Amino acid sequence: MYRTFPLPYLPSSIPYFERIRHLPAPVFLDSGKPASLYGQYDILSADPAAQLSYQNRVTRIRHPASEEQLDGNPFTHLQALFNRYQASCPAPQQSDIKALPFCGGILGYFAYDLGRSLETLPEQTHCDIDLPDMQVGIYSWAVIVNHQHQTAVLLTTPLIDEIQARTILQQLTQDTTELADDFTLSHHFESNMSKADYYASLERINDYIHSGDCYQVNFAQRFSSQYKGDPWHAYKRLREHAPTPYSAYIETANGAILSHSPEQFLEVRDARVTTKPIKGTRPRGNNPALDAQLKLALHDSEKDRAENLMIVDLMRNDISKVCAHGSVRVPKLFAVESYANVHHLVSTITGKLRPDKSPIELLEHSFPGGSITGAPKIRAMEIIEELEPNRRSVYCGSIGYLSFSGQIDTSITIRTLICQNGDIHCWAGGGIVADSEVSEEYQETYDKVNNLLSPLEETIIQQ
């Protein structure tokens, strides 16, 4: 049976995560509260009942006493694994549990390069990050924090008994000693391309656009450094400077993922599908008058509206593959949302999931998100592969959950860093269209990530 155990509400869920972080495969889906304006729920868990990873065209499913290796479509294997555990955990009937966004189920990430399992793409970029293209777990319990109602509960599924639940509860209510911040960067971040290389790549994209190959390409540069210490401390530092509603911290055996994304990818709630692509960015002003001016300029920009509309059309087409005929709508077009360092142009697309389709099929048919590829999607991905020096890995993929109740919510992993083997990487990009100004696009990449790079560069110890 499903159980809930009340916990003291904390304005920040960080102490709860630090009490379970020592367990295997910890995940923290972080709404950025109290600083973020948009988030509501935090979801924290660890020690999954099973894990699924996809790497080098092989899907591996690990159970406590066994391991499977499977060929073929990883989304098919993910669906089968979810179905197997959902059979033991049918959707809860208690009203208080049904109201929770997550009732046990899948937590994890889907890397941008998982798209290679769905489409035949060239392999030209250098792959220097050894993370699986998909890493998820079946989580049998979770801490759910509702910042709007200021409540917190431990939810447990039928996969664990009351004794196990009480053990987890005890860990969550024990005080922990806060460790000193031991994260340091060895040197300033460096891009994987020179300014001249960036300009040349945008000229090449411009040629493709004018020759009719594509309408838009999302092009990114990567910033890298080396570090010592604990990536969790880096995440906490960044959280103070970049509170966003789709933040996440994930630890794996291969490395840590630090995501501070403002962008929703796909949500399904009571069969209603929602996606909210971001296209169009302006920096925040250093005074109210300038800030309002920049916000209005973004809202009225014909170039940014055209860029946004291209992706709206792409995402409408993607979700229509699994939505009921005639149900896809665009209730919000070109809304401006403001964050710590930027204004974004955001549109909202909705639809009704067909009864014969699942949220995993929705994810499969929409992956990767159109806002971080371009249009048409496959040709844009081919151009990205040609021009970006390094594979994206988790950047521009997705992080999120699929509950046993059938609800799914995922992010687009922009503003995301990866820590692995002493290296730390962070990306920034933007949608390139026919009338893009190269110098403005170049500056926009820095506007997007300066509030991530600068706080970490403050940790550099001068020799």
- Do the beta carbons of residue 314 and residue 377 sit within 8 Å? yes
Q: How far apart are CA 31 and CA 113, in angstroms?
A: 25
Instruction: Write out the H or E segment, with its range, that includes residue 139.
Output: strand 134-139
* 201-225: pLDDT as tens digits: 999 999 999 999 999 999 999 999 9
Q: How confident is the model at residue 164, as a pLDDT?
A: 94
Scanning 173-283, the segments in alpha helix (DSSP H) are 195-210, 231-241
Domain 3-173+191-457 has CATH 3.30.70.920: no
| Among candidate residues 64, 25, 15, the one with its CA nearest the CA of residue 45 | 25
Q: How confident is the model at residue 378, as a pLDDT?
A: 96
How distant is the alpha carbon of residue 284 from its chain centre?
A: 23
Q: How far apart are CA 382 and CA 284, in angstroms?
A: 33
Q: Catalytic residues, which ones?
A: 263, 279
Q: How far apart are CA 419 and CA 447, in angstroms?
A: 22
Scanning 99-194, the segments in alpha helix (DSSP H) are 162-172
Q: How far apart are CA 189 and CA 224, in angstroms?
A: 5
Q: How far apart are CA 81 and CA 59, in angstroms?
A: 11
Tokens 């040709």 identify what position?
379
pLDDT per residue of the chain (463 residues) written in tens, 0 to 9: 899 999 999 999 999 999 999 999 999 999 988 766 778 999 999 999 999 999 999 999 999 889 999 999 999 999 999 999 999 998 788 888 888 999 999 999 999 999 999 988 888 899 999 999 999 999 999 999 999 999 999 999 999 999 999 999 999 998 876 666 789 999 999 999 999 999 999 999 999 999 999 999 999 999 999 999 999 999 999 999 888 999 999 999 899 999 999 999 999 999 999 999 998 889 889 899 999 999 999 999 998 999 999 999 999 999 999 999 999 999 999 999 988 788 999 999 999 999 999 999 999 999 999 999 999 999 999 999 999 999 999 999 999 999 999 999 999 999 999 999 999 999 999 999 998 999 999 999 998 999 899 999 999 975 4
Q: How far apart are CA 178 and CA 182, in angstroms?
A: 12
Q: How confident is the model at residue 35, as a pLDDT?
A: 66
Q: How confident is the model at residue 118, as a pLDDT?
A: 92
How far apart, in Å, are the Cα atoms of 353 and each of 221, 318, 405? Answer: 36, 12, 15
393 conformational bin, left if phi > 0, alpha if psi -120 to 50, beta if neither = left
Q: How far apart are CA 254 and CA 135, in angstroms?
A: 11
Both tokens of 209, joined, read 């656009």
122: three-class secondary structure by DSSP: coil
Q: How confident is the model at residue 180, as a pLDDT?
A: 67
Q: How confident is the model at residue 339, as a pLDDT?
A: 85
Neighbours of 446 (CB within 10 A): 14
DSSP 8-72: ---SS-HHHHHHHTTSSS-EEEE--TTT-SS--EEEEE-S-SEEEEEETTEEEEEETTEEEEE-S
Scanning 288-431, the segments in alpha helix (DSSP H) are 288-300, 302-320, 359-366, 377-387
Q: How confident is the model at residue 141, as a pLDDT?
A: 98
Q: How confident is the model at residue 34, as a pLDDT?
A: 77
How far apart, in Å, are the Cα atoms of 28 and each of 65, 184, 258? Answer: 26, 22, 10
| Among candidate residues 119, 51, 105, 130, the one with its CA nearest the CA of residue 364 | 119
